[in-house]
Chains A and B, each alone.
Chain A
Amino acid sequence: MTKEEKAELRKAFADIPGTYVFTPEHSRKGYALNIFCMSLNKAENRAEFGKDESAYLDKFDLTAEQKEAVLKRQWLKMLELGGNIYYTFKIAIFDRKSMQHVGGKMSGITEDEFKEMMLSGGRSIIGNRSKKEYEV
């Protein structure tokens, strides 16, 4: 692949609406946030996080904005700040929340509305391929 093709590919990712491709920049930005999320795989860490979320988060090198997004469960914000859904979903597992709950929060609908949408075939790809389609 040529240098130009690689750059073109990155540009095209940015054109997909409502999608945060986990690029190297994204990964660097969200590293500490995602490593915190990863720590919730261990039962003892989940217990500690449950006792005092803020104090537990201080053990990781999150930015103030990232920490706030975690504490307030701002799912979309976490992605914007470098979170990756497989990592941030660990917080939802901790909260005993479903992927539909999180999906609803990220797309501005309720969990029930999200479930209903999935039962009726999911979010349509039509009109959701390119940001340009949003401008029409």
Chain B
Amino acid sequence: MAKIIAGIGCSHVPAVGAASDHGKTEDGYWTPLFAALPAARKWIKDLAPDVLILVYNDHASAFSLELIPTFAIGVAQWFENADEGYGRRQIPNVEGHPELAWHITESCILDGFDLTIANKMDVDHGCSVPLTVFFGEPAAWPVKVIPICVNVIQYPPPTARRCYDLGKAIRKAVEEYDGELKVAIAGTGGMSHQLQGERSGVINTEFDVNYLDNLRDNNDVNRDRSHLEYIREAGSEGIELVMWQIMRGAMNEKVVEKFRKYHVASSNTAFGVICFENAPEEKSAAEIKAMKEPVLVEYANALGITAHVNDLKKDTLEKVLSKLGYS
């Protein structure tokens, strides 16, 4: 069976891709963001997912107003980087996973999500910038990617609730897949930003930080927000945050936060990255107390507690029991 092992939320500001492409990651403007990324890159490298389901929106690149699919899934073997007006980014093309993509398509449609099927779809910065954020500048991306493209430009985009439910359907599909695959899922875009109009440049840090906290602990708040709240509070382009709900829906109700970076501003946007793993199954206090030290340490780390076999077992045990509310 395939398994979802990681969830990512990540902004996809095009200037971040450009900074990487043009060797500007260590100039003063970009340092605060790029200097934070090695920990996220190590995290994903250690997990080594086989496939990354990457949820993003197209920005007038593969789709125009001529055709506006609400949810489109890329089932191709390869996806080329789009020319968004600058010429194509000189980065590797994206390799797909047609077998899993078609399996997800079949499963989701039969379960009530009528995905649009894309056999040819150039991918733009929405897809490629998160790859840059997590993998830097490799000769080839170290993971196969299933791009899922969501309309958030033409009103109405799908609701946050609908996105969350699609995430659940995707998870079910992944778990019904017969091959052994480790799958990560990323919801991208956001955080607060507005590119258009007299209100352009609006940033709402309080909203963003609450969104990140709630995403981890209390996501019903994010899932049940209306389009109006997203647009008014997070800016007209902040509506992209509905796409993070697809990731969240695919994860366990309880997750452990492994990485977070929030930075204002990247170009016109509040840049957010967050990494989750599914929280382990909850054990009783008695079961935990009976654990041998290496098992206890592993369990503690899965709960997000930094523990090591060289630590005193008593201390680790205390931290675990306290984390789960047993003491």
From B196, B228, B236, name the one whose CB has the most chain A CB atoms within 10 angstroms.
Answer: B196
CA distance A35 to B59 in the complex (A): 13
User: Could you tell me if A22 and B154 are in contact, using CB atoms closer than 8 angstroms?
Assistant: yes
User: Could you tell me if B65 and A79 are in contact, using CB atoms closer than 8 angstroms?
Assistant: no
User: Could you tell me if B198 and A76 are in contact, using CB atoms closer than 8 angstroms?
Assistant: yes
User: Could you tell me if B201 and A118 are in contact, using CB atoms closer than 8 angstroms?
Assistant: yes
Closest to A119 in B: B265
Give chain A residues whose Cβ lies under 8 Å from the Cβ of B265. Answer: 118-119, 121-122
Give chain A residues whose Cβ lies under 8 Å from the Cβ of B200. Answer: 18, 102-103, 106-107, 123
Counting chain A residues whose Cβ lies within 8 A of the other chain, the interface size class is: 35 or more
Give chain B residues whose Cβ lies under 8 Å from the Cβ of A40. Answer: 85
**B203 at interface by CB-CB < 8 Å:** yes
CA distance A26 to B29 in the complex (A): 36
Instruction: Pick 7 A–B contacts, CB within 8 A, sort by A.
Output: A9-B226, A19-B236, A21-B155, A27-B155, A34-B64, A123-B201, A124-B202
Residue numbers of A with Cβ under 8 A of B are 9, 12-13, 16-24, 26-27, 31, 34-35, 37-38, 40-43, 46, 76, 79, 84-87, 89-90, 93-94, 98-100, 102-103, 106-108, 114, 117-119, 121-125, 128-130
Residue numbers of B with Cβ under 8 A of A are 15, 59-61, 64-66, 82-87, 153-155, 192, 194-207, 226-228, 231-233, 236-237, 264-265, 267-268, 270
Taking A18-B198, A122-B201, A122-B202 as known contacts, 19 extra A-B pairs with beta carbons closer than 8 A to each other, sorted by chain A number, are: A9-B227, A13-B155, A13-B228, A20-B196, A41-B84, A42-B83, A84-B153, A85-B196, A90-B85, A106-B196, A107-B198, A114-B201, A121-B203, A121-B264, A121-B265, A122-B265, A123-B203, A124-B203, A125-B206
